[in-house]
Amino acid sequence: MNNASAKRRPSLLERISGPKAAPLSTLVKKGEAAAMRVQEGFGDFLGQRIRELTDARLRLAGAPSWEKFYAVVMDLRGSAAMAGRTSLVAVCHSLETLIKEHVRDARSAAVAGSHIDALLLLSSPRQTDDQGADRLIGELEQAVARLPRKTAS
């Protein structure tokens, strides 16, 4: 095949540089507005995820359940961060520490359950004030710290 006769594929930069190009600042504002519309629906998503955690909490004896549980926690943490819900992020972070660094047994499952209760409390419209949330998160972190740590393999 003669390359000289073949059509050159345009680069991505060339493809976005058409005559209809708009200022990036305008496009960023449109992206922001879209994000705000989606964030308004965070409550529905949160309720669904907490229900999944509550269901998973009943099955924490087996390793596969912990893995699924961890995946939901990670999703909730990232999504809550995007929605600006810092107290929920902190609870998820404490749960993540529990799952990653501590022995997974009945005691840790109970502490995980306390985290889910905290998520429920902090997600309700009548959620506790900032000081109350900080105190609650501090207590959860202390409960996690008291759990036996995994031994290095």
Partner 1 sequence: MAAITKADFSPLTILVIDDSPFMIRLLAEMLAGFGVGKVLTAETAEEAFARMEIRAPDVIFCDWQMYPIDGLTILRRLRQHHQPQLACVPFVMVTGHNANEDVTLALGEGADSYVVKPFSSETLMNHLIKVIVGDKSHLMQPQMGSPKEMWAVE
Q: How far apart are CA 143 and CA 35, in angstroms?
A: 35
CB 69 to partner 1: min, Å: 10
Q: Does 152 bind partner 1 (CB under 8 A)?
A: no
Part in contact with partner 1 (CB under 8 A); list of ranges 74-82, 104-112, 122-130, 135-143:
74-82
CB 44 to partner 1: min, Å: 9
- Dihedral Cα 83, 87, 90, 91, nearest 10 deg: -110
Tokens of 109: 């499952």
Out of 58, 59, 67, 101, name the contact with partner 1 by CB under 8 A.
Answer: 67
**Residue 54: φ, ψ to 5°:** -65, -40
Out of 47, 78, 132, 138, name the contact with partner 1 by CB under 8 A.
Answer: 78
Residue with tokens 């594929």: 9
CB 126 to partner 1: min, Å: 23
Q: Does 29 bind partner 1 (CB under 8 A)?
A: yes
At residue 101, what is the residue type?
E
Q: Does 97 bind partner 1 (CB under 8 A)?
A: no
Q: How far apart are CA 105 and CA 129, in angstroms?
A: 32
